[in-house]
Structure 1
Amino acid sequence: MPIETMEQRSAPTALTAPAAPSLDELALELDRQLDTLVARGAPWAAAMTDGQFRAHLAPLADRLPEVAATIARTRRERDPLAADDGPPRLPFVLVVGGELLSPQRAAGLVRRDERRLIVSMLDDEAFAAFRPIETVRLPPGGAYLLVDVDAGWATRNDPPDTALPRLQEAGRSPLTVEEGIAVATHRPEVVATNAGFSLLGSRRGDRRVTALWISRGAPKLGWCFAGVPHTWLGSASCAGRLGM
């Protein structure tokens, strides 16, 4: 990866982990994320009307009880990736995958303090070359919920080659590049200065691993090498995926 000057401000202080959300709170959050996608033009990019887009994704609301159950279970169990600081885990993130929305178009929906996502060293051909690794199974239907999302604070400074078995041993799944874009779309504050994350769930058959970080105040999507540690990069993961 080309050498790049990183901003030297500290990452934001972590918030105390919130209480487990209720079903009503999860439903409101799903509505918020869906509204974000509609407001930023995802239906148009997916060649749908706003109504068609909302109707297509509506069945995901039926999976919210499973989201709540998963969060309750993970909080009961001993968590080998727990961290005393860093951003709290997200209950879920709504992902619109390549069947409906290409990664390139999805990247265009990201805003952080009105700054757009910078895509570096990833043209259309490179985007297409990154595919889910063998252990990552994506639900069919073009959209799904990414459950109990962790930005990887406990794996900072672990090279991706070292972080991946740690995630798997903890019973978690690494995020794909599309899923990282979805996190940055719905919760842009999770990508913070000196607190980015690698997306180990997508590979292209070489040593490159995509990652999200902050560069000159803007969110950036690029890649790093699988064997190189970075103090400002963790490895993002989830507890599971729930489709329609």
Structure 2
Amino acid sequence: MTAPAVVLPPVTDQAERLIALGATGPLTPDVVRTGAAALADRPGLLVVGAARPSRLAPLLRRGERPGFVVEDMTDVDDFAPVVEVPDAPLWLLTEPDRGDDLASASPAEAELELTARGRTPMLLTEGVQWLLQAPDVLERNHCFMTTGSRLRRPSGRFDSRTPAVWISNGTGRDGRARRDAAKVGWCWWNNRHTWLGFASAADRTA
């Protein structure tokens, strides 16, 4: 399956949506509006760099169900960028893609392929903000990982958990009430899943 083409709203409209949702992190509405206006002549996803996934996930909606972070990922906000990001409070993520064609690859394998293509892996916070602007990107059996965010242990090694966003089946600790809700969770770095692509972008500009 090929991922559907996603047409994002104008950058200034994206800013207003983030403000309305309370998804601007530490930034005031005025800062977001001013930053968005400066980027408005370019297409892309408006990203608030410091927005926390733990605060963003519950703002996701599938039907009436809010999104959530899995219970065993209480450290979700500690997954930090392992790719270069702009030194700016806001930036544009250009040409976001769900990465369906990389499904069945492990994160380690997908990282090599994205590098070869000149693509940058998406951060977890970028992936969640993408879904706030374009909820239909998340489809059952066609969800995505965000390998641009990793958790570094005190030893200096990366944690093997790799963040992803998919749709809950309402089983286990998720609970029936969360069936079909957007779910921020993780998979192992060397595991493969037929239903998880690898979200990426062309670049980030500020």
TM-score, length-scaled by structure 1: 0.71
Write the distance in 1 (CA, Å) between the matches of 2:132 and 2:32. Answer: 17
Q: Distance in 2 between matches of 1:207 and 1:148?
A: 28
8 Å Cα contact 2:143-2:167 kept in structure 1: yes
Q: Show the counterpart of 1:167.
A: 114
The letter of the residue matching 2:49 is G
Structure of larger gyration radius: 1
Does residue 83 of structure 2 align to residue 131 of structure 1? no
Q: Which residue of 1 aligns with 2:45?
A: 93
Distance 2:35 2:64 in 1: 28
Please list every run of 5 or more consecutive structure 2 residues that lacks an aligned counterpart in the other structure: 152-157, 169-178
SS of corresponding position for 1:222: strand
Mark the CA change 1:14 to 1:201 in structure 2 (over 3 Å): closer, same or farther: closer
Asked if the contact 1:152–1:236 (Cα under 8 Å) also holds between the matched residues in 2, the reply is yes
Say which of 46, 49, 53 aligns to 1:103: 53
Relative to the length of structure 2, the TM-score reads 0.83
Partner of 1:233: 196
Percent identity among equivalent residues? 38
8 Å CA contact 1:97–1:103 kept in 2: the answer is no
Which 4+ stretches in 1 moved above 4 angstroms? none
Q: Is the 8 A contact 2:68 2:183 kept in 1?
A: yes
**In structure 2, what residue type is equivalent to 1:212?**
V
Partner of residue 198, structure 1: 145
Alignment of 1:21-60 (within 5 A): 29-43=10-24, 45-46=25-26, 48=28, 50-60=29-39
Aligned length: 189
Deviation of 1:105 after TM superposition, in Å, equals 2.1
Root-mean-square deviation (CA, aligned residues, Å) is 2.2
* Unaligned residue ranges in structure 1 (runs of 5+): 1-10, 68-91
Alpha-carbon distance between aligned partners in 1 of 2:109 and 2:97, rounded to the nearest angstrom: 17
